[in-house]
């Protein structure tokens, strides 16, 4: 007899699916228009485009933080808001590290486990199949993953920019998300730190197997990270091109000097110029 | 915070103080000013010493009222700020009445407080609260409502409850603002206590600096009046310094060891 799946999302369906998605702000601005998007489990997608093209808006719509106004958008088979409230297997990495200055690194990373459903034992909650990790073990795991175990007791003010971003990444991963949404997370860091964090992100992605949607303004970063790169154009925000990145993995930093990489980068640049 | 040695920070103002006292003494002697108009520093010092016991008990009583007033203001002000931060409608409806606290001439309200609550510590503390409450409310409300939207999104991603957002984000985030409000309020609480004592002294239970000022000015004991004023100033300074020190300690813990302001 087949065991009924308790998984909310049916296996083969994409984790994130948008068809003709549009989003109009209350002020009347059409921020997104006719967006088609498919993100499968374990896939890494990058979104690039000039500022104001709606990259962050699209990310927030998927996160269930902004209501859409047209078309369909599902996350794990649910509306994004329902997915955010009930599925809870997605995490958002913000542009700024957004660490709470009064909490130590350890307590910052622990925060998601203190909020919402994780520490609640609601008998009505039908999502009991959620892993209920021992919070301390979960925090220790991700701190080790980003190499911050030595700094667990430090406060954010004592960390460098790169370390703060690592702590932010650890906080996002502490709930073992299946969908990671990244909003230009390394944009404010220097080139070397950024390169190192890109590699760490790739390592984490390969290890934890989450799907990721990453907004970036660096074309090289997009090519380095992604399986596919979506090119967006502003007013209204539309996806004009999708570029498949068929570079082998793992992708060390040196891959950026290979002809295949530079060819893809040139291709991406040409498509962006063509669409603006 | 500057980490200058204490000596380097205290020396310039003390030097100014010494110069002013010297000039004051010279002018008094040179123009032979009558003591009931402008007593010389030497006279003030003599009066302060002669009356040291009374001055000390009066200062202690005023200090008690001021500290109590400040504590009530901090608690009440933070509670009101929390209320304001939870409902825009509530904030909009009640904020004008909070401004009332700032604009009403306390001298006009104080007699009313005496009529309602009689003379004594309660009334004095009440006046101190009325004067020192407003900065806590405004600073607290600002701190509780001025939250980077990304932090709110961070909490929303975990479907955090309103209560969790308040307790784990807004309130701790407002601590620096409330500390600033407390610094402003500490001086105001002393002023409030003294004004309160003008109108609602403690009767037979003793008297504070406010009553002392009223009495000595009525009797043209100007040297004693100066001594009382000096005690008021020192009390205010002490309150402000204590609150600042405590606030810095809290903020250092709050932000971790490396504090830069």
Given the structure tokens 């498949």, which residue do they identify? A244
pLDDT band, residue A236 (cuts 50/70/90): confident
Output phi, psi for A18, to 5 deg.
Answer: -120, 135
Check CB contact under 8 Å for A111 and B172.
Answer: no
Please tell me the distance in Å from A276's CA to the nearest CA on chain B.
Answer: 29
Please tell me the distance in Å from B127's CA to the nearest CA on chain A.
Answer: 35
Name every residue whose Cβ is closer than 8 Å to that of residue B55 and which is 6 or more positions away in sequence. B48, B212, B227, B228, B231
pLDDT higher than 60, residue A120: no
Check CB contact under 8 Å for A94 and B257.
Answer: no
B-chain residues near A158 (CB < 8 A): 256-258
pLDDT band, residue A269 (cuts 50/70/90): very high
pLDDT value of residue B178: 94
pLDDT value of residue B246: 93
pLDDT tens string, chain B, 261 residues long: the values are 455 677 788 888 889 989 999 998 999 888 888 888 888 888 889 988 988 888 999 999 999 999 999 999 999 999 999 999 988 898 889 888 888 878 888 888 888 888 898 888 899 999 999 999 999 999 999 999 999 999 999 999 998 889 999 999 999 999 999 999 999 999 999 999 999 888 877 765 678 898 889 888 888 888 899 999 999 999 999 999 999 999 999 988 887 654 443
pLDDT value of residue B206: 73
Of B153, B156, B255, the CB nearest to A101: B255
Nearest partner of A67 among A23, A111, A132, A100, judged by Cα: A23
A-chain residues near B169 (CB < 8 A): 100
pLDDT higher than 60, residue A109: yes
Nearest partner of B38 among B24, B23, B22, judged by Cα: B24
pLDDT higher than 60, residue A121: no
pLDDT value of residue A131: 53
A-chain residues near B161 (CB < 8 A): 116
Given the structure tokens 């309200």, which residue do they identify? B109
pLDDT value of residue A105: 95
pLDDT value of residue A119: 45
Please tell me the distance in Å from A241's CA to the nearest CA on chain B.
Answer: 29
Angle between helices B209-218 and B222-255 (to 10 degrees): 160
pLDDT value of residue A64: 93
Check CB contact under 8 Å for A92 and B157.
Answer: yes
What gap in Å lies between CA A209 and CA A41, rounded to an integer? 8
Check CB contact under 8 Å for B153 and A118.
Answer: no
pLDDT band, residue A128 (cuts 50/70/90): very low
Q: Taking CA atoms, what residue in A is nearest to B157?
A: A84
Show the tokens assigned to B186.
């500490």
Show the tokens assigned to B70.
């400040």
Check CB contact under 8 Å for A115 and B148.
Answer: no
Check CB contact under 8 Å for A63 and B172.
Answer: no
What gap in Å lies between CA A41 and CA A136, rounded to an integer? 27
pLDDT value of residue A118: 52
Check CB contact under 8 Å for B158 and A156.
Answer: no
pLDDT band, residue A156 (cuts 50/70/90): very high
pLDDT higher than 80, residue A5: no
Please tell me the distance in Å from A256's CA to the nearest CA on chain B.
Answer: 32
More confident: B16 or A127: B16
pLDDT value of residue A4: 46
What gap in Å lies between CA B143 and CA A114, rounded to an integer? 23
Per-residue CA distances from B114 to B72, B80, B120 (Å): 19, 25, 9
DSSP track, chain A: -PPPP--SS-SSS-SEEEEEEEEE-TTS-EEEEEEEEEE-TT-EEEEE-STTSSHHHHHHHHHTSS---EEEEEETTB-HHHIIIII--EEEE-SS----TTS-HHHHHHHHHHSTTTT---TT-S-TTS----HHHHHHHHHHHTT-GGGTT--GGGS-HHHHHHHHHHHHHTT--SEEEEESTTTTS-HHHHHHHHHHHHHHHHHH--EEEEE-S-HHHHHHH-SEEEEEETTTBEEEEEEE----SS--GGGGGSHHHHHHHHHHHHHHHHH-
Which of A110-119, A264-273, B176-185, B225-234 is predicted least confidently? Answer: A110-119
Check CB contact under 8 Å for A65 and B159.
Answer: no
Across A15-44, average pLDDT: 91
pLDDT higher than 80, residue A157: yes
- Calculate what percentage of chain A has a pLDDT beyond 90: 51
Q: Are B217 and B133 in contact (CB under 8 A)?
A: no
Q: Are B37 and B222 in contact (CB under 8 A)?
A: yes
């Amino acid at each position: 007899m087949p065991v009924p799946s308790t998984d909310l999302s049916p296996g083969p369906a994409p984790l994130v699916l948008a068809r003709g998605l549009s989003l109009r702000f209350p002020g009347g601005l059409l921020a997104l228009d006719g967006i088609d998007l498919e993100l499968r489990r374990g896939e890494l997608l990058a979104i690039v485009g000039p500022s104001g093209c709606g990259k962050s808006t699209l990310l927030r719509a998927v996160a269930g933080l902004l209501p859409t106004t047209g078309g369909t958008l599902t996350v794990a088979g649910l509306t994004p808001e329902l997915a955010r409230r009930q599925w809870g297997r997605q995490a958002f990495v913000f542009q700024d590290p957004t660490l709470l200055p009064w909490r130590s690194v350890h307590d910052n990373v622990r925060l998601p486990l203190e909020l919402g459903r994780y520490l609640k034992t609601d008998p009505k909650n039908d999502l009991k199949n959620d892993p209920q990790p021992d919070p301390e073990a979960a925090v220790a795991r991700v701190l080790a993953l980003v190499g911050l175990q030595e700094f667990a007791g430090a406060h954010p003010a004592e960390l460098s920019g790169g370390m703060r971003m690592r702590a932010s990444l650890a906080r996002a991963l502490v709930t073992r998300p299946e969908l990671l949404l990244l909003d230009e997370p390394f944009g404010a860091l220097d080139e070397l730190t950024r390169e190192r964090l890109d590699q760490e992100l790739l390592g984490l992605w390969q290890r934890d197997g989450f799907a990721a949607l990453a907004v970036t303004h660096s074309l090289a970063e997009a090519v380095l990270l992604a399986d596919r790169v979506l090119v967006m154009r502003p007013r209204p925000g539309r996806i004009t091109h999708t570029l498949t990145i068929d570079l082998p993995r793992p992708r060390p930093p040196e891959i950026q000097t290979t002809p295949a990489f530079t060819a893809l980068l040139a291709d991406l640049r040409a498509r962006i110029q063509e669409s603006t | 915070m500057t980490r200058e040695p204490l000596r380097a920070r205290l020396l310039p103002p003390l030097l100014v103080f010494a110069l002013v006292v010297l000039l004051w003494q010279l002018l008094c002697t040179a123009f032979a000013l009558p003591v009931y108009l402008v007593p010389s520093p030497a006279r003030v010092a003599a009066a302060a010493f002669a009356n040291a016991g009374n001055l000390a008990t009066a200062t202690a009583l005023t200090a008690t009222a001021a500290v109590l007033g400040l504590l009530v203001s901090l608690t009440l002000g933070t509670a009101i700020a929390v209320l304001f931060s939870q409902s825009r409608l509530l904030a909009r409806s009640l904020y004008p009445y909070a401004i009332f606290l700032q604009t009403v001439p306390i001298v006009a309200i104080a007699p009313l407080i005496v009529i309602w609550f009689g003379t004594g510590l309660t009334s004095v503390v009440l006046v101190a609260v009325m004067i020192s409450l407003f900065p806590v409310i405004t600073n607290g409300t600002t701190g509780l409502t001025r939250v980077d939207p990304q932090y709110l999104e961070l909490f929303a991603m975990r479907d955090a409850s309103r209560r969790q957002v308040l307790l784990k984000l807004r309130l701790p985030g407002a601590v620096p603002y409330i500390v600033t409000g407390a610094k402003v309020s500490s001086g105001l609480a002393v002023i409030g206590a003294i004004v309160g004592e003008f109108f609602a002294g403690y009767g037979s239970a003793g008297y504070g600096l406010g009553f002392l000022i009223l009495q000595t000015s009525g009797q043209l004991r100007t040297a004693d009046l100066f001594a009382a004023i000096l005690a008021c100033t020192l009390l205010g300074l002490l309150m402000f310094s204590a609150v600042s020190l405590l606030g810095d300690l809290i903020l250092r813990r709050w932000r971790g060891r490396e504090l830069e302001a």
